Amino acid sequence: MITLAYALILATAVQGAVDVGLISGCGNHLTSCIDVGHESSVMNSCCAPNHGLVVLEQKWTFGPGPSDKFVISGLEARTCTGKAPPMDGCNPDRKVEHLDGFMKNADPDLHEYIQKYWSVDDFKSSPFWEHAWLRHGTCMTNLGPECRGNVGGEYNDVLGYFRIAKALHEQFDIMQVLTDNGVPPGTSLPLPKLQRILEDAFSVKVNIHCSNSVLDGVQLWFKTRGGVQFEPVDSVDSSSCNAKMITFPLKQ
């Protein structure tokens, strides 16, 4: 069942789509970026974000997060051709401050998860999350208050952005896929094999990042359907990793 507000992340829908219960009234036939890789006209901005695509970036870094999990390094808005939004986002009026304290009070479970898993290097505080919301969250027009009948409070769209990140991160578990396919941390393997494992698991082309033949991160791209579901699509960008062999290192 789809709720009017997206205070609750709903169960995963078919074909790997994540349903976040944003709005009703947008038919499932309405998808963003009907022709992914080509700009297309956008219908009601509640039924499809104006930027069209969403990118979940997960990183495998030595410092932040548990030793058995990729961390979130971004939930990014992208145009249908893969272009990133400006640094100040799409609506500076929706800028928020003191996000750490607000999220902790409004949704302690969400705050605990984001604090644990959305951290890269020394960035693990409000300014990092506030920048992500401003640059990318404000460009996801299907999160706007008007898309949920102004239900749920003034900043529920901000919380919704991080709830989407959490839901996608939980479902698209790269660590689980790798370990299930006999690739635990400490393994080296041919890059094409790593690409094939991930693409077989998610049924789309992913974007792999590496540094000096060491796995650094993975991007998964999504379109929206009916404004409420996030469905995986082939990466618009090509993988930046050109190594023949790639190492999935142990976290230290």
Residue 103 pLDDT:
92
Q: Which among 52, 55, 48 is positioned nearest to 38, based on CA atoms?
A: 52
Evaluate if residue 246 carries a pLDDT over 50.
yes
pLDDT digits (tens, 9 = 90+) for 19-57: 554 455 677 777 888 755 555 544 578 888 888 899 999
**Residues 242, 173: Cα–Cα separation, whole Å:** 23
Evaluate if residue 12 carries a pLDDT over 60.
no
Residue 36 pLDDT:
53
pLDDT digits (tens, 9 = 90+) for 63-102: 667 888 999 999 999 999 999 999 999 988 888 988 989 9
pLDDT band of 176, cuts 50, 70, 90: very high
**Residues 155, 148: Cα–Cα separation, whole Å:** 12
Evaluate if residue 121 carries a pLDDT over 80.
no
pLDDT band of 120, cuts 50, 70, 90: low
Evaluate if residue 180 carries a pLDDT over 90.
yes
**Residues 134, 89: Cα–Cα separation, whole Å:** 5
Which pTM does this prediction carry?
0.86
Q: Where are the domains of the chain?
A: 50-223+232-248
Cα distances (Å, whole numbers) of residue 25 to 157, 171, 225: 18, 26, 12
Query: Is 240:210 a contact under the CB 8 Å cutoff?
Result: yes
pLDDT band of 14, cuts 50, 70, 90: very low
Q: For the domain 50-223+232-248, what is the CATH code?
A: 3.90.730.10
Query: Is 19:11 a contact under the CB 8 Å cutoff?
Result: yes
pLDDT digits (tens, 9 = 90+) for 98-118: 898 999 999 999 999 998 999
Residue 13 pLDDT:
34
Residue 34 pLDDT:
72
Residue ranges of alpha helices (H) inside the chain are 99-106, 108-117, 126-135, 156-171, 174-180, 191-202
